[in-house]
C-alpha cells in the first residue's frame, strides 16, 4: 500500500499480542528432529568460540535429560535474557562473518521441539546466570515471563559448567519417549537409537570443524570423542578432486568443488559404509552445501540431474557464505535451502561437465563404476530396518523406453511399474519358499524379449566404457541373465558377431 492511500484511511489499532501459550506450542513444530535440534544448539556453541563441546545424555534415569556444555564466551545475565527471547535477532540484520545463527530462534525452537523444560546456565567474567523456560508454566500463566534461577548450584547440570561457557539442559523430553512414556527400558532403548542416529548426523554436519590432528572443535557424547565423517573422503588417496570453481555473485562468492569417490573395492568396507551412510551411495551422491563450513544439505541433486548408478560416486561440495541466506532461503532449522536461479543455472553446467568427465574417466581406465551386479532389474533396499525389493527404474531397459514417452505417459508407466513392484506377493512367496523352494521359478521370457533386454544392456554398458571383450563376463553377472544364461549366451554371441 502506498503512504498517500494510508493517510486517507481512518485507522485504529488494538493490541493483538500473540497468546504465549498457543504461540509457544507452535514453536515446537518447525520440523526439527533430534539430530537437527542438537546441531542447532551446537551451532550456537561454535559461534560462541567453543573449543570443546560436551553432549551428555541420561536416557535411563526416571526423568531422562540431555545437556550440551560448551566452553565458549558465555553470557552476562542481560545477554542470557536476550538469548532466551523468541526472535532475539532479526534475520535482516548483518551477522558476523562466521556466525552460524540466522533467525534468533534456534536455541528456543530446537529445544522446544524435544523438551518442555529448557534451562540455560552460563558463566562469563566469573558471574553465573541461569534462566529457564518451562512450557507448562507458560501454558498455565499464558505470558512470556522468564524464570531466573539465583541458586543454580543445586541443579545437577551445574557441574558441567567450566570456568567459562554455557550449558543448555533439556528436561521433560516428551517428544523423545517413542510412545513409551511409562516403560523405562523401552523408552531408553528408543532414545539410545535416536542418539545413535543423531551422532552420525553431527559427525557429518560438523566434519570440517572436527577434522585434523588439532581440530577447531572437539565434540563428545557421554565422554566419547566423536570423529568426523567426510562425505568427500577427501583425504583418501584414490579420491579424485577437480580444481575449484568460483561463482561470483552479488552477495558473495560460491565455491564449487567436484569430487569422485574411490570405487568401493579401493576402500575398506567400513569406510565405504561410513561415507555412504544408512541410505547408501546411490542416494547420497550429489550436492553437499556448506554454509560457513557447516553442512546444510547432504546429497541429492536438487532437481538438477538424476541420481543414477553411473554417477553414484560423484559428490560436489558447494560453499556459501552466510551473507546469502535470504537468497538461498535457509530455513529455521538450517536443514534445507533452495538454489537461487542464477546458481541453479551455473551449477547445472558444472554438473553436466563433471558428470560427463567422470564417465569419460571411467571409459579411459576401463574401470568399473557400476556395482558388480550390473543393473539389476530389482533393487534391494533397506528402508526403516526392513529389506525392500523395488523395480529398478534406472535400469536401461526401462529408461530406454520411458525416454520415448511423453511426460504424462511416462508418469503412468512408472506408476504401473511401481505398483507391480509394491504388489510383490511377499507372503505367498514366503509360504511357497518355506514349503518347496525348488519348485518355484521365475516366469519364462520369450526369445524376442530376451534379445531386447540384452541389446539394451550391452549398449548402455559399452556407452559407459565397458570394452566389448568384457561384455560376456559383465552380462553374466547380471542376476536376470545369469539365471537364463543358456539362452542368453547365443544371443549375445550373435550380437557381438554382427558388430
Ligand X SMILES: Nc1ncnc2c1ncn2[C@@H]1O[C@H](COP(=O)(O)OP(=O)(O)O)[C@@H](O)[C@H]1O
**114 binds ligand X per the rule CB under 6 A:** no
Q: Is 410 in the site for ligand X (CB under 6 A)?
A: no
Q: Work out how close the CB of 68 gets to ligand X at its nearest, in angstroms, rounded to a whole number.
A: 8
- Considering beta carbons, is residue 28 or 281 the nearer one to ligand X? 28
- The answer to whether 173 touches 114, Cβ cutoff 8 Å, is yes
Taking CB under 6 A as the criterion, the residue among 33, 52, 88, 307 binding ligand X is 88
- Nine cell digits for residue 89: 535477532
| Residue closest to ligand X, measured at CB | 101
Q: Does 130 bind ligand X (CB under 6 A)?
A: no
Specify which residues 125 forms β-bridges with. none
Nearest to ligand X of 76, 414 (CB atom)? 76
What pairs with residue 286 in β-bridges?
300, 315
- The crossing angle, in degrees rounded to 10, of helices 184-205 and 34-47 is 50
Nearest CB to ligand X, comparing residues 115 and 316: 115
Among 76, 104, 128, 361, binds ligand X (CB under 6 A): 104
CB nearer to ligand X: give 79 or 211. 79
Give the residue among 395, 378, 356, 370 at the shortest CA–CA distance from 466: 370
Question: Minimal distance in Å, beta carbon 105 to ligand X?
Answer: 5
Q: Which residue number, 167 or 481, has a Cβ lying nearer to ligand X?
A: 167
Strand partners, 228: none
Q: Which does 83 bind (CB under 5 to 8 A by kind): ligand X, Mg ion, none?
A: ligand X
Per the CB < 8 A criterion, the answer to whether 330 and 301 are in contact is: no
The residue range among 17-25, 99-107, 126-134, 483-491 that interacts with ligand X, by the rule CB under 6 A, is 99-107
Q: Which is nearer to ligand X, 93 or 407 (CB)?
A: 93
Closer to ligand X by Cβ: residue 71 or 230: 71
Nearer to ligand X, 123 or 264 (CB): 123
- Rounded CA-CA distance 362/435 in Å is 46
Q: x/- string (CB under 6 A) for ligand X, residues 136-175?
A: ------------------------------x---------
- Which one of residues 20, 37, 44, 114 is an interface residue with Mg ion (CB under 5 A)? 44
Q: Does 72 sit near Mg ion (CB under 5 A)? A: no
Residues 6+ away with beta carbon under 8 Å from 373: 477, 478, 479
- At residue 296, the 3 state secondary structure works out as strand
73 binds, among ligand X, Mg ion, none (CB under 5 to 8 A by kind): ligand X
Judging by DSSP bridges, how do beta strands 294-298 and 286-291 pair with one another?
A: antiparallel
Tell how far CA 294 is from the center of its chain. 12
From the list Mg ion, ligand X, none, pick the one residue 274 interacts with, judged by a Cβ distance below 5 to 8 Å according to partner type: none
Nearer CB in complex with ligand X: 83/256 = 83
The beta-strand segments (E) located in 25-143 are 52-58, 65-70, 117-124, 127-134
CA angle 338, 24, 36 (to 5 degrees): 40
Please say whether the beta carbons of 267 and 236 come within 8 A: yes
Q: Does residue 102 interact with ligand X by CB under 6 A?
A: yes
Compute how many residues bind ligand X; rule: CB under 6 A: 19
CB under 5 to 8 A by kind: which of Mg ion, ligand X, none does 460 bind? none
State the nearest-atom distance from the C-beta of 249 to ligand X, in Å.
23
Residue nearer to Mg ion on the CB measure, 74 or 286: 74
Nearer to ligand X, 103 or 328 (CB): 103
Binds Mg ion by CB under 5 A, chosen from 106, 276, 299, 376: 106
101 near ligand X, judged by CB under 6 A: yes
Binding mask 339-378 for ligand X (x = CB under 6 A): ----------------------------------------
Residue 75 CB, shortest distance to ligand X, in Å, is: 5
Q: Identify which range of 72-80, 271-279, 382-390, 444-452 contacts ligand X by CB under 6 A.
A: 72-80
Sign of the four-CA dihedral 478, 480, 483, 486:
negative
Burial of residue 402 (number of CB atoms within 10 Å: 0-12, 13-18, 19+): middle
What share of residues in the chain are helix, strand, coil (percent, to 5)? 45, 20, 40
Could you tell me the three cell numbers for 220? 563428545
CB of 42 closer than 8 Å to CB of 68: yes
Report how far apart, in Å, the C-alpha atoms of 105 and of each of 53, 84, 111, 123, 166 are.
21, 9, 10, 21, 17
Encode 161-190: b = buried (16+ Cβ within 10 Å), e = exposed: beebbbbbbbbbbebbbeeeeeeeeebbeb
Give which of 100, 91, 85 is closest to 24, Cα–Cα.
85
Q: Does 101 bind Mg ion (CB under 5 A)?
A: yes
- Binding of residue 106 to ligand X (CB under 6 A): yes
Residue 410, exposed/middle/buried by CB under 10 A (0-12, 13-18, 19+)?
Answer: middle
List the interface residues with ligand X, window 28-67 (CB under 6 A). 44-45, 48
Give yes or no for residue 166 binding Mg ion (CB under 5 A): no
**CA atoms of 287 and 66, how far apart (whole Å):** 32
Cβ atoms 410, 402 nearer than 8 A: yes
Chain contacts with ligand X (rule: CB under 6 A): 44-45, 48, 70, 72-73, 75, 83, 88-89, 101-108, 166
Chain contacts with Mg ion (rule: CB under 5 A): 43-44, 101, 106
Amino acid at each position: 500500500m502506498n503512504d498517500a492511500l494510508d493517510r486517507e484511511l481512518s485507522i485504529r489499532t488494538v493490541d493483538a499480542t500473540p497468546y504465549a501459550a498457543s504461540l509457544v506450542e507452535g514453536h515446537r513444530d518447525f520440523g526439527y528432529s533430534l539430530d537437527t535440534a542438537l546441531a542447532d544448539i551446537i551451532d550456537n556453541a561454535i559461534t560462541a568460540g567453543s573449543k570443546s563441546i560436551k553432549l551428555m545424555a541420561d536416557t535411563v534415569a526416571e526423568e531422562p535429560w540431555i545437556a550440551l556444555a560448551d566452553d565458549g564466551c558465555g553470557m552476562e545475565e542481560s545477554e542470557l535474557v536476550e538469548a532466551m527471547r523468541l526472535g532475539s535477532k532479526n534475520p535482516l540484520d548483518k551477522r558476523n562473518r562466521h556466525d552460524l545463527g540466522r533467525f534468533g530462534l534456534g536455541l528456543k525452537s530446537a529445544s522446544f521441539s524435544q523438551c518442555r523444560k529448557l534451562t540455560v546456565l552460563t558463566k562469563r567474567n566469573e558471574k553465573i546466570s541461569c534462566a529457564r523456560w518451562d512450557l507448562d508454566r507458560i501454558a498455565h500463566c499464558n505470558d512470556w515471563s522468564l524464570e531466573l534461577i539465583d541458586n543454580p548450584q543445586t541443579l545437577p547440570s551445574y557441574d558441567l559448567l567450566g570456568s567459562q561457557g554455557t550449558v543448555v539442559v533439556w528436561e521433560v523430553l516428551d517428544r523423545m519417549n517413542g510412545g513409551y512414556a511409562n516403560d523405562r527400558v523401552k523408552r531408553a532403548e528408543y532414545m539410545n537409537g535416536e542418539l545413535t542416529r543423531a551422532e552420525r548426523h553431527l559427525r557429518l554436519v560438523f566434519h570440517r570443524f572436527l577434522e585434523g590432528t588439532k581440530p577447531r572443535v572437539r565434540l563428545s557424547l557421554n565422554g566419547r570423542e566423536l570423529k568426523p565423517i567426510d562425505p568427500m573422503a577427501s583425504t583418501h588417496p584414490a579420491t579424485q578432486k577437480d580444481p575449484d570453481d568460483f561463482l561470483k555473485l552479488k552477495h558473495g562468492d560460491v565455491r564449487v568443488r567436484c569430487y569422485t569417490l574411490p570405487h568401493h573395492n579401493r576402500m575398506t568396507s567400513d569406510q565405504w559404509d561410513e561415507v555412504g551412510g544408512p541410505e547408501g551411495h546411490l542416494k547420497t551422491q550429489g550436492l553437499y552445501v556448506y554454509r560457513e563450513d557447516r553442512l546444510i544439505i547432504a546429497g541429492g541433486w536438487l532437481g538438477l540431474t538424476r541420481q543414477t548408478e553411473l554417477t553414484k560416486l560423484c559428490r560436489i561440495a558447494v560453499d556459501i557464505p552466510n551473507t546469502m541466506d535470504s537468497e538461498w532461503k535457509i530455513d529455521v532449522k538450517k536443514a534445507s535451502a533452495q538454489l537461487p536461479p542464477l546458481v541453479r543455472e551455473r551449477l547445472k553446467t558444472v554438473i553436466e561437465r563433471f558428470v560427463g568427465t567422470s564417465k569419460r574417466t571411467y571409459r579411459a581406465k576401463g574401470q568399473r563404476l557400476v556395482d558388480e551386479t550390473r543393473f539389476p532389474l530389482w533393487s534391494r533396499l533397506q528402508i526403516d530396518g526392513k529389506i525392500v525389493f523395488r523395480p529398478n527404474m534406472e535400469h536401461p531397459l526401462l529408461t530406454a523406453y520411458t525416454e520415448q514417452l511423453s511426460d504424462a505417459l511416462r508418469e503412468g508407466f512408472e506408476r504401473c511399474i511401481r505398483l507391480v513392484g509394491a504388489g510383490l506377493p511377499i507372503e505367498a512367496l514366503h509360504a511357497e519358499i518355506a514349503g518347496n523352494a525348488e519348485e518355484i521359478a521365475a516366469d519364462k521370457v520369450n526369445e524376442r524379449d530376451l534379445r531386447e533386454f540384452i541389446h539394451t544392456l550391452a549398449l548402455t554398458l559399452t556407452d559407459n566404457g565397458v570394452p566389448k571383450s568384457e561384455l560376456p563376463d559383465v552380462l553374466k553377472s547380471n542376476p536376470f541373465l545369469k539365471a537364463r544364461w543358456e539362452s542368453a549366451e547365443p544371443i549375445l554371441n550373435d550380437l557381438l558377431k554382427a558388430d
